[in-house]
Chains A and B, each alone.
Chain A
Amino acid sequence: MNVHLRIIAAALILAIPGIASAAGHHLALPSASDLWRVLSLQDYNTRVVILGTTMLGGAAGLIGTFLLLRKRSLLSDSIAHATLPGIAAAFIVVSLFGGDGKNLVGLLLGAAAFGTLGMGSVLLISKYSRLKDDAALGIVLSVFFGLGVSLLQLATRLETGNSAGLNSFIYGKTASMLFRDAMLIGVSAAGVAVICALLYKEFTVLAFDQDFAAAQGYPTGILDFCMMALVVLVTVIGLQAVGLILIVAMLVTPPAAARFWSFDLRRVLVTSGIIGAASGLFGSAISALMPNLPAGAIIVLVGAFLFLLSFLFGSARGVIPQRLKNRQTSLKVEMQHLMRAFYELAEEDGAAEELEKHPVKFEQLLRERAWNSTQLKRILRRARRGEFLRVGADGDYSLTRAGGRQARKFIRNHRLWEMYLITHADIAPSHVDRDADQIEHVLDDAMIERLENLMNQTDRRLLPESPHVISSQKGEAS
């Protein structure tokens, strides 16, 4: 385990008492009947909330995937923060003209306008100045949010209109979602899904290679705008549900999690949508069961939990499957090196013809490679289990027939490659051993055949001589 991981683990353990005592304070576990009531969607209110957040999660997961592929995940953060002045300004303008400042349409239009403005500013700054993306994102985020806070405070000083509740756009008020809001989310989510399906090919090309898209004659500017407009749309409709800081999580976390499960974009998109929907569903269900827990934050944490699971266990890029795969490969490589060591020792004694009958001592093997005795013992144990070698009465080792076959095969691969490097790549004989050590394990039959033809070594029963002095012999000689 590396040092960073250990530090993180230590800090998390230190933080546990705090978190636990915070959580333990007012948490009453739900009764069975509560559980049933929520899960069977009996409450009208719960039904609306769960439906709304699930659809929102799905839509955000979908469009968020393209955002991630374009390396613009944090753009959602800037867009979300940039909506605040829009909300406050819309409230002020509508109130001044005598309307109801809290009219949802006005607020959302204001939010969308400023969200788009913020997005445009980020792209403008990073395109037309020497500043990089991160600075552009940070500038837009903080300045727009600062402006928003100032406008919001002004709004509270208006004589007309009651501005209480505008704050809910910052933290969200999931639990009080209305049917109207859920409908809006549903329609928008469906729109996002349809547009993503219609423009799937164009969005994909744009996300992976913008220059190629332009060369293919796609209107990249317009497509880019469409993509970002969808992000703004999801951000704006999500504001009310989870608030402007946590909507970022809905756009960023599911795609990041989904990427661990597949290399195929279609699957990533679907997985991301499902993870988003699942965090919405379970998050709002949990918060319905335990009213003390704010739904927006729980949705985010469910998403983070799913991310953690994907990070660890994801079948395509997950950390544990990857480590297992690497481990398997290194075990295989170790084993093949052991077999080769047997052959080289036998050859040294002029007994290569009778490889299987040539006993070898542990110390001899130990000198053959850079392994220590613990490692070598472990490899030998595994080789015995695989019936590649047997132990003689005096504790000597010798190969079985299966082991001999392996040894000959990899010695041959190794030497063919060495010869190839010497004759065709002009590498000095003293320098080819290491390279061949790595390549011998991955040479397939077709490759071997071509090497054999090149080296005139088509008779598979014959093993070529090593083209260089084998290091252990050299070591003894000097």
Chain B
Amino acid sequence: MIWTFLDTWIVIIGVLSAVACALLGNYLVLRKMSMMGDAISHTVLPGLVAAFLISGTRDVFPMFVGAVVIGVLTALLVQTISRIGNIEEGASMGVIFTSLFAVGLIMIRQTADDIDLDPSCVLYGAIEMAPLITVDFLGMELPRAAVSSGVMLLVNVLFILLFFKELKISSFDPALATTLGINSTLMHYLLMTLVAATTVAAFESVGSILVIAMLIVPAAAAHLLTDRLWLMILLSAVIAAASAITGHLAAIIVPGWFGLGDTSTAGMMATSAGLIFVGVFLAAPRYGFLSRVLSRARLSQRILREDVLAMLYRRAELDPDSGAATLAEIRRLLHENWRVGLAVKALSRKRMLARNDGGWQLSPAGEAEACNLVRSHRLWESWLVSELGLRPDHVHRTAERLEHVTDSSMQEELFKAAGSPDQDPHDRKIPGNL
């Protein structure tokens, strides 16, 4: 790997555009409008060509205006068609952006001799070449892409800082925003304008795939990590920057492992954002896939442990001489297999079960806990029959679920509400009565 000043500039440009996109992306994701970013980044194509044809130059300004106009027009068209024609927004977006993109392709084909706008350059971008095109900025010779995306980043940061409250309210509750005197339609189109502007700024340098990826992926990942808007924005910026840096590294390093040269930096930046997203999707503390699976597994294991205790209690109640239960017997009685072993081991660690001639028996602590559970169960059964009027043979299942979430104060209330019963509806003694 050879790192040159070019690589430094590529990373700088990548980070600037990625962060600029990611900032706005937060609001797109929260407003459920992520695909609008995709649509706009396709439809700027005809906007650029039209701007070129009208102005006759490839200057930044007309191009910029053309793309912003078409970007806002896209948002307008999508919403108008979906509202007037009463069709789903996704469908109207699909119709609009493909049509405008097709118009763009035809315009490019027709003017191929006068204009060197290569559609594939638009899609993949040429970030590798971007540092070579320089402009004079405040007396320094800087890459044009760095200047344009830096300016865009600054504009977006200012936009978010200035309108943080307005954006927040109109994103989460447009109706409330309107009653508070905030023009949420205006906010919406300001946002769309900035999305279009950012897309154009990032467009020539990094290509539209990177724009779409950076608009959506970092913000989506950040959304899985936090519930606070400012933190989400901050995290999305960090994730965007990280994907840009690792993306470029991956583009020049990974192909080398297979004896090949380098590959598309923009593509790899999008890919590495995707990998970061996968990591977050799996491992996010509260909203992650694994933490959900884990907390569910933990809950069901706790319930199983409690079932083991209650089952042993009832077994001893039915036949005081039954003695210790073997693991196989517990498994059979609970219709569970390998998880029982784990539950029993955990219970013996907590000293709730004790070993006794080849089997397991409740320890005094376990007996107290089991007594508590069975008490909850039977109180629920009594209450369901006496207060709700359910049939005695219909209440076991409900009680079986509720016993795991009943604390002592609730037990007391149940006891009172059910008329301080001594026995449950199946004529079993309710344990623990004073």
Contacts and interface: CB of A to CB of B under 8 A. Distances in A.
A143 B273 contact: yes
Given A18-B53, A149-B266, A157-B260, A293 B109 contact: yes
- 4 closest residue pairs by CB, A with B: A146-B270, A143-B274, A252-B94, A18-B50
Interface string B269-287: 1110110010001000001
Nearest to A72: B90
Contacts of B51: 18
A23 B94 CA distance: 24
Contacts of A19: 46, 50, 103, 107
B105 A297 contact: yes
Contacts of A137: 34-35, 38
A137 B212 CA distance: 11
B29 A249 contact: no
Contacts of A133: 32
Given A146-B270, A149-B209, A317-B86, A7 B76 contact: yes
Interface string A50-76: 000000000000000000100111101
Task: Give the size range of A's interface with the partner.
Answer: 35 or more
Given A134-B32, A149-B123, 16 more contacts: A22-B53, A73-B94, A77-B94, A128-B281, A134-B35, A135-B29, A142-B273, A146-B266, A147-B267, A149-B124, A150-B267, A154-B260, A157-B263, A245-B42, A294-B106, A304-B99
Contacts of B292: 128
A11 B92 CA distance: 19
Contact of A292 (B109, B114, B268, B287): B109
Given A245-B98, A252-B91, A301-B99, A311 B85 contact: yes
A407 interface: no
A21 B53 contact: yes
Interface residues of B, number: 81
B344 to A, nearest CB: 32
Contacts of B32: 132-135
Interface of B is mostly: helix
A149 to B, nearest CB: 4
Contact of A301 (B29, B81, B103, B209): B103
Interface of B: 29, 32-35, 37-38, 42, 46, 49-51, 53-54, 69-70, 73, 76-77, 79-81, 84-88, 90-95, 98-99, 101-103, 105-107, 109-111, 114, 119-120, 123-124, 209-210, 212-213, 215-217, 219-220, 223-224, 251, 255, 258, 260-261, 263-264, 266-271, 273-274, 277, 281, 287-289, 292
Contacts of A21: 53
B110 A125 contact: no
A176 to B, nearest CB: 15
B274 A146 contact: yes
A294 B105 contact: yes
A292 B108 CA distance: 11
Given A300-B99, A304-B102, A311-B85, A5 B80 contact: yes
